[in-house]
Each structure stands twice: as structure tokens, then as C-alpha cells.
Amino acid sequence: MVELVPSLLRQELDRLAADGQRIDGRGQFDGREVHLEVDCLYNAEGSAKVVWGDTIIYAGVKFEIRTPWPDRPTQGSLMCGAELRPVAHRKYEPGPPSPESIELGRVVDRGIRESGCIDMDELCIVPGEKVWGVMIDIHVLSDGGNIFDAAGLAAIAALRTAVVPAERFDVGEDHTLKVNGTPIMASFKRAGGRFVYDPSEEEELGGDERIHITLGDEGHLHSLQKGLKGVFTPNEFAEILAVAEQKCSELREMVAEKEGN
């Protein structure tokens, strides 16, 4: 999709919203079809592929052994980064990480980190000397809209199916990484004046602000982010939060189902 006529697109989204419709025929809070595949890449210690409408994202988990921070001698570390490389869309240019890719990585990172699903003390090998550094890399291959939710899903699914490669580093036996929870993100975009769930590429192009909500297993908030220009009311937030609870539960079940295989 080329950014030729965003103002015409904006008018069209307004017109559709007045009739309670969306540009691809979905209802206001309907998501697109989601496919999740785990353990799909040979060298990654945990991996997942998410196909979410026209969006395709891989996440891979790698481990390294590092020296702990002096003030936290028993704690390992977790880092989640994202790359919006030119492969994903004609709008992405080569070069150093863009503000957009940094935001994506950090929002996903916060949701996982703050949910407490990884106990940093569990990543200790020898206190003060050796701890595991866990790195989740998000690789966007096709941006068809709502890369945040797809990235969040790929990241947690890759993490939950990761195996700690202790044998390769000569520090014990390989074991599955302990992950106590499945934080899931739900994203909303103002298109045609009201919030819709799971924005498509057109809605991102012709819409306003977006809101990302990450919920843990107990329904607690673990990360929030408002992006782009625009303001929203407390009532609007209450409405989308209720939708987010339902969407996150559905996706959490999907992750659990894949882990069972």
C-alpha cells in the first residue's frame, strides 16, 4: 500500500465508521485470523512464527553467559529487541534502528519483563560470576498492520518453548526455560473517529493514535503505551480494556495449545 491518498482514505474510514463498518468488512472489535507455529527454526533455542492477517513475524530466543551486575550478583537478564528491516515493507529503509522499531521492541520487552514471568534469579549459574542473558529478537518479515500484537505473541510463544542450552556452554544439562505466565498484548487504533481492535494497514495509514495493552494471566496490566498524535477519554479506555481482556485470554489459550504439541 503506497501512501498516495491518506486524506481520501481518512474520509472513507469516517464514512464507514458512521455505518459501524470497517474497510475490510470486520466489526469494530473483530480480529483477523491468527496462525501460530512454535519451534520452527533450527538454531534458535526457542522460536515462533506468527501469521496475523497479512502480517508475518518471527521471534527467536538466544542465550549467552555473562557476568552479573555487581549490585545484582544472582540475577540474569532479559532483553527483547525488534527489527523493522526493509524486507517487511517498502516504507522501511535500511540503516540504524528506527524510533519505530525501538518502540516496538521496548513495548514488547516491558510487557514480558514486568509480568514477572521470568524469575531473574532462576537465570543464575554461579552467583557473582555467571548468569544467563536471555535475548528475544523479533524479526518482522511482512507488515500488514498491527505488528505490535503479532510481535508480542511471537515473543512470548518463543520464550515459553525455549530450551536453555546448558550443554553447549558446559554448565549442566539442557532444560526448558521456566516461564511463569503468558503476557499478551492487545492493540487498538482510532480509525474513523473510534477505536478498533487489530488495525489493518489501511487503518494505520488513515487513522490516529494507537493504544497497546499487555495483560497477564490474572488480567493485570503489565505494559501500556499510547503512540502517535491524538487523545482519548477514560470511557474509551474502559471500553477497549474490556475487549482486551477477552482477546488476550483467547490468544493465551492458543499459546497453551501450541505448547502442548
Partner 1 sequence: MGGYGDVKLLRDDGKRLDGRAIDEMRPVTIEAGVLPAADGSAMVTHGLNVAVAAVYGPMEAHPRKIQRQDRAVIDVRYNMAPFSTGDRIRPGFNRRSREISKVTAESLESVVLVERYPRSKIRVEIEILAAEAGTRCAGITAASVALADAGIPMRDMIVGVASGKIEDTVVLDLDKAEDNYGQADLPVGILPNTGEIAFLQMDGDLSIEEYNLAMEYNHKAAKEIHEIMVDALKRRYEGGEN
Q: Is 116 in the site for partner 1 (CB under 8 A)?
A: no
Subset of 166-225 contacting partner 1 (CB under 8 A): 168
Q: Is 35 in the site for partner 1 (CB under 8 A)?
A: no
Which triple of cell numbers denotes residue 64?
A: 549467552
Which listed residue (6, 18, 69, 90) binds partner 1 by CB under 8 A? 90
Q: Is 106 in the site for partner 1 (CB under 8 A)?
A: no
How far apart are alpha carbons 125 and 75 in whole angstroms? 9
State in angstroms the smallest separation of the CB of 233 from partner 1: 34
Stretch that binds partner 1, among 70-78, 85-93, 171-179, 208-216 (CB under 8 A): 85-93
Nearer to partner 1, 33 or 71 (CB): 33
Is the separation of the CB atoms in 183 and 111 below 8 Å? yes
Subset of 62-81 contacting partner 1 (CB under 8 A): 62, 64, 81
Q: Is 99 in the site for partner 1 (CB under 8 A)?
A: no
Q: Is 233 in the site for partner 1 (CB under 8 A)?
A: no
The amino acid occupying position 111 is G
Nearer to partner 1, 51 or 213 (CB): 51
CA atoms within 13 A on the CB side of 114: 17
Nearer to partner 1, 92 or 232 (CB): 92
Nearer to partner 1, 75 or 101 (CB): 101
Residue-wise over 42-61: b if at least 16 C-beta within 10 A, else e?
A: eebbbbbbbbbbebbbbbbb
User: Which residues make up the interface to partner 1 (CB under 8 A)?
Assistant: 41-44, 47, 54, 56, 58, 60-62, 64, 81, 83, 85-90, 94, 96-97, 135, 137, 139, 141-144, 168
